[in-house]
């Protein structure tokens, strides 16, 4: 069973709340981590109880919610005072990337990271990462570790940020980290596609069935990735139109477009591999059918003669001649040899 988060599952069938959805998520308890950069001081981790006061004093705050449950819901509603629709979006898997810009400032962004998982073969997995940005804070919501975002945000908090747009700077860093992780994942998938193509052997169809099924599944994942990536690219461009970080977000959108092109190229490669295998298989089948047809054409006259001379009539030509049987056999042998030479010269045998 393909778990929640795989591209073929998350994209078309998401939208159910985590609780009671029947969709398995990564095991583990809820984790909340809060990193704050206070004015003129180094980044430090603060407890949840001090978050409300830190929001008024800190230069920038990163709130990371891993496998969110009741405590995260309380934080979003009663500490950050987010509206119920935004809280619901944070706590529920979504079908596609989206963005909601708040009237009073800030925004909600549903984005995704691309990861590969090695089972029988590498599979492309989409990890939903929800982002809520305020004036001086960023909230990340996810169901499993996303190392590229964690490392990038921790590094950015270690240096000074803009006074009035620290939240937007953290948002850019998170989005840029997510987009930068797409190309390495796609390169790994392209290598898997090459391996699977090498496993396609028309002379051993039984062994090729598994590789062919994996290629078809890989193609479906690449198509789903493209849908998600195109939507995410448009979200980044939309955010950049009204942001002081327009140039940076435009660069992130261009990188996202490069990932889309890479997915298209890999999908075309997979299409070509599948089509080439089918052509070789069909050609091999056609050769087998043609040989059977030629053999049938060779032996059909012989069967006709044998049928005629097999009837129970007394007066058949050559029936009373002691050499009649050998003449009959000789005629058939000569016919087969002459027909075989003729068909071989015509390239049919």
Q: Which residues of the chain have pLDDT under 50?
A: 1-25
CA distance 46 to 61: 10
pLDDT of residue 111: 94
Asked if residues 239 and 99 have their Cβ atoms less than 8 Å apart, the reply is: yes
Residues 6+ apart with CB under 8 A from 301: 335
Q: What's the pLDDT score for residue 177?
A: 95
Q: Which of 101, 125, 100 is nearest to 115 (CA)?
A: 125
Q: How many residues does the chain have?
A: 349
pLDDT of residue 15: 37
How many CB atoms within 10 Å of residue 29? 7
Domain 7-280: state its class.
alpha beta
Q: Residue 333, SS3?
A: helix
User: Is the distance from CB of 30 to CB of 69 less than 8 angstroms?
Assistant: yes
DSSP track, 162-214: -SS-HHHHHHHHHHHHHHHTHHHHHHHHHHHHHHHHHT--TT-HHHHHHHHHH
Strands 137-142, 58-66: pairing is parallel
How many C-beta neighbours within 10 Å does residue 76 have?
A: 24
Q: Alpha-carbon distance 170 to 167, whole Å?
A: 5
Q: How many CB atoms lie within 10 A of CB 257?
A: 16
Sort 174 into a burial class: Cβ within 10 Å, 0-12 / 13-18 / 19+. Answer: buried
Instruction: Look at residue 272 in the predicted model and tell me its pLDDT.
Output: 93
d(CA 96, CA 113): 12
Question: Quick one: tokens of 85?
Answer: 């629709």
Q: Where are the domains of the chain?
A: 7-280, 309-345
What pTM value is reported for the model? 0.76
Alpha carbon separation from 42 to 59, 71, 231, 274 (Å, rounded): 11, 27, 37, 55
């Amino acid at each position: 069973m393909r778990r929640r988060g795989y591209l073929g599952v998350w994209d078309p069938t998401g939208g159910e709340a985590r609780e009671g959805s029947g969709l398995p998520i990564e095991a583990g308890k809820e984790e909340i981590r809060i990193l704050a950069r206070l004015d003129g001081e180094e980044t430090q981790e603060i407890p949840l109880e001090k978050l409300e006061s830190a929001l008024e004093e800190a230069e920038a705050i990163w709130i990371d919610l891993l496998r969110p449950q009741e405590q995260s819901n309380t934080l979003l509603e009663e500490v950050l005072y987010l509206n119920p629709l935004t809280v619901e979006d944070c706590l529920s898997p979504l079908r596609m990337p989206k963005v909601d810009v708040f009237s009073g400032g800030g925004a909600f962004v549903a984005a995704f990271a691309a990861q590969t998982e090695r089972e029988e073969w590498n599979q492309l997995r989409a990890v939903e990462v929800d982002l809520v940005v305020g004036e001086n804070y960023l909230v990340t919501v996810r169901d499993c570790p996303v190392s590229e975002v964690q490392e990038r945000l921790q590094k950015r908090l270690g240096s000074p940020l803009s006074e009035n747009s620290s939240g937007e700077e953290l948002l850019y860093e998170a989005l840029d980290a997510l987009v930068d992780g797409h190309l390495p994942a796609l390169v790994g998938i392209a290598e898997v596609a090459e391996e699977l193509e090498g496993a396609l052997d028309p002379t051993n169809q039984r062994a090729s069935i598994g590789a062919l099924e994996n290629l078809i599944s890989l193609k479906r994942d690449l198509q789903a990735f493209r849908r998600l990536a195109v939507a995410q690219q448009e979200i980044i461009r939309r955010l950049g139109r009204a942001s002081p970080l327009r140039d940076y977000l435009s660069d992130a959108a261009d990188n996202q477009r490069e990932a889309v092109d890479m997915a298209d190229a890999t999908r075309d490669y997979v299409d070509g591999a599948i089509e080439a295998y089918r052509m070789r298989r069909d050609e091999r089948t056609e050769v087998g059918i043609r040989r059977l047809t030629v053999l049938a054409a060779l032996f059909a006259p012989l069967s006709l003669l044998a049928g005629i001379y097999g009837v129970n009539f007394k007066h058949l030509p050559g029936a009373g001649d002691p050499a009649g049987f050998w003449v009959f056999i000789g005629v058939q042998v000569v016919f087969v040899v002459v027909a075989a030479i003729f068909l071989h010269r015509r390239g049919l045998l």
